[in-house]
Amino acid sequence: MSAEAPKISDFCAVGVNHWEASIDVRERFSLSDARKKDLIDGAQREGIESLFVVSTCNRTEIFAQNVSLQELIRLLVTYSDGTLEEFHNYGFEKEGRQAVEHLFQVTVGLDSQILGDVQVVNQVKEGYEFAGELDAVGGELHRLMQHVFRAHKRSRNETSLGEGAATTAYAAVKFAIETFDNLKDKNILLVGTGKIGKVTCKNLINLGAKKLTLINRTRDRAEFVADKFDLKVADMEELPQEIAEADLVIVATGAQEPVLTLDDMKPSVMAPSFKVMVDLSVPRNIDPQIGELKFVDLANMDFLTDVTDEAYRRREENIPLVKKIIDDELTDYKNWLSKQKIVPTIKALTNKFDTIREDEFDFFKNKISDTDKDKVENLTRRIVNKIAAYSIEHLRDHHESEQVTKVVNDMFKLETKASNE
């Protein structure tokens, strides 16, 4: 008989995120690409065949199949700077349907700090593709992700969840506007022109920013963005002076250590003027000690929210619709999983029929002219395929019935193998 079919209960997830863990905890659990690779390599050495990691500003989470929660927790603690005690205090662990629903909700943006976050789907996709390149994603998880990404697409096409600039970058700019009322006459410094930085730049301009300076470790990347909007570019060496002249400083880089330190604040300390500084990075890129300066209002990811925004209320109305989409896609996936238990029988059945056909053809081929051999082989193949099709259709129509599968196995004396072999 075939091996036990894959089930929803095979999946699990562990991690820390913004709901329970503050930014200082999240940055200790944050994983660079190098650490993610080490974690996946370590998991594969231990026989874990299907998993991927999502590590963003607001969460570090592992999704996996056929592994215990304890093993995943140990992997997360081993390859991050977080401790087991911190995980038990601030982390989460989910199994079966809860784990799969959580993956759906993260990807569509229901679990995001900014409801309907439009960037999180790309972050999930990057984590999934990263693991895929390491051959760390099994067939059932691949199929699950197709349904997860389809749920995201449907949530955007069939609901208004993604409307209203739902991003942490937008929330950062709105945070600044609450202080300054408008950005038109404010000196603004944006450090980092990667994915988040580019989105932040567009939001600043759309909300009225006129005096905007860009700094990036690689100047060419800053100039590429600046040329699109006719903006000023400064070098990293000019960072302290640019900070001193700025009213608003936003930092969004992928650095693992602070990009803005107390040393960079020396010119500002000599001639202090009120500044709003926003750190969109995890690990934090602005030294938290800068927030202790009396003339600085420092905000990090934990400060950002859009719950007072009218667009948030409109998105919130769509939550039941999005949950219905998730239920639909999860049901479709469960149906697909259920059908996988008959795959070994179908493969064994078609192999059995083809073996019989080949044996009979070999017995008679010497009695057939060379000109007719191809025609006869094609004819016998078509006959066998049509006979097999009726049996396969019956199996698929009754894929929930173990008795039907057993009858077919016994009737044709099939030797089945696991569907993933």
Enzyme catalytic residues: 57
Q: How far apart are CA 305 and CA 113, in angstroms?
A: 7
Q: In what order do the strands lie in the sheet with 248-251?
A: 232-234, 211-215, 187-191, 248-251, 275-279, 296-299
Residue 135 contacts by C-beta under 8 Å, 6 or more apart in sequence?
A: none
Please state, in angstroms and rounded to a whole number, the distance separating the CA atoms of residues 184 and 181. Answer: 9
- What residue type is 375 in one-letter code? K
Cβ count within 10 A of residue 270: 8
Residue 211 host element (H or E):
strand 211-215
For residue 204, give the nearest of 237, 165, 159 by alpha carbon. Answer: 165
Rounded Cα gap, residues 370 and 375, in angstroms: 10
Contact 234, 242 (CB under 8 A): yes
Residues 210/192, Cβ–Cβ less than 8 Å:
no
Report d(CA 95, CA 101) in Å as an integer: 10
Indicate the pairing of strand 92-95 with strand 187-191: unpaired
C-alpha dihedral sign at 334, 338, 341, 347: negative
CB atoms inside a 10 Å sphere around CB 209 = 23
Instruction: Return the residue matching tokens 């696991």.
Output: 418
In 288-318, which residue ranges form alpha helices assigned H by DSSP?
A: 310-316
